[in-house]
Amino acid sequence: MTDDRRSAPHVARNAEPIAAVLRDVLPTTGTVLEIASGTGEHAVHFARTFPNLLWQPTDADPVALRSVEAWRGAEEAPNLMAPVPLDAAAPDGWPVDAADAILCINMVHISPWAATLGLLDGAARLLPPGAPLYLYGPYRQAGVPTAESNEAFDASLKARDAEWGLRLLEDVVAEAEARGFALDRVVSMPANNLSVVLHRQR
């Protein structure tokens, strides 16, 4: 590509399996806040798949924001809003004050633990009771052997940044529950990933 659009090969593999889970999770109308939108390809796909929802992409990386905006300009998705900068770990870095659902794909393991805690704090501030928080990515699970490919991925992440790496799902869920969320379901996904669906209880 000669413009600012970036592409991630995994999006072509996981976008529709994720959408299949989201069909049972997202509200019929309202605004979905996507944290860490990355290239923007997921945002385009989901905006097209759910035309009655407004899709608000965000990212902390200026390069990613340019990619999202370039995809937005190149594709037909009138319900896809302009991306805004958002640092999940920064309490004052959330330019959005309300949402009807929050989605975060492949951030929890490629960021410091503080970003996950910030994501959960922000979701607790923004979401009304009953609203979903959807997480996607690879996790460790207590009592469940970790796939060799995920072990290798974890080692490569930690080699890049010691604060990165696969999180224990039970730790993420415990932090979410402490902020008023309840675990709805965990769905096995392609390539040893998980869809994790939580709902705001209070």
The model's confidence at residue 16, banded by pLDDT at 50, 70 and 90, is: very high
Average pLDDT of span 85-107: 93
> In what side-by-side order are the strands of the sheet with 181-189?
84-85, 53-59, 30-35, 101-105, 132-137, 193-200, 181-189
| Per-residue pLDDT, 2 | 54
* Number of domains, the chain: 1
The predicted structure's pLDDT at residue 91: 79
| Residue 108 scores a pLDDT above 80 | yes
The answer to whether residue 1 scores a pLDDT higher than 60 is no
pLDDT at 202 over 80: no
Residues ≥6 apart with Cβ < 8 Å to 103 = 22, 32, 33, 34, 35, 46, 133, 134, 136
d(CA 154, CA 27): 33
Determine, yes or no, domain membership for 104.
yes
Q: Which domain holds residue 27?
A: 9-200
CA angle in degrees (0–180, nearest 5) for 51-52-54: 85
- Give the domain CATH number at 75: 3.40.50.150
Domain-embedded: residue 21? yes
Per-residue pLDDT tens over the stretch 17-39: 999 999 999 999 999 999 999 99
The pLDDT value recorded for residue 180 is 98
pLDDT one-digit tens code per residue, 111-132: 999 999 999 999 999 999 999 9
* Residue 185 in this model has a pLDDT that exceeds 60: yes
Within-domain flag for 3 = no
Would residue 185 count as lying in a domain?
yes
- Please report the pLDDT score of residue 9 as a whole number: 84
- Is residue 2, in this structure, part of any structural domain at all? no
| Sign of the alpha-carbon dihedral angle for 3, 46, 33, 168 | negative
Contact 3, 70 (CB under 8 A): yes
Q: Locate all alpha helices (DSSP H) within the chain, ordered by sequence.
A: 9-22, 41-49, 62-74, 113-126, 148-160, 169-178
Evaluate whether 195 touches 134 at the Cβ level (below 8 Å): yes
For 36-86, how does the pLDDT look when each residue is reduced to its tens digit (9 = 90+)?
Answer: 999 999 999 999 999 999 999 999 999 999 999 999 999 989 999 999 999
Q: Is residue 4 part of a domain?
A: no
Q: Is 159 helix (H, G, I), strand (E, B) or coil?
A: helix
Q: Is the pTM of this model over 0.85?
A: yes
Q: For residue 78, what is the DSSP state?
A: T
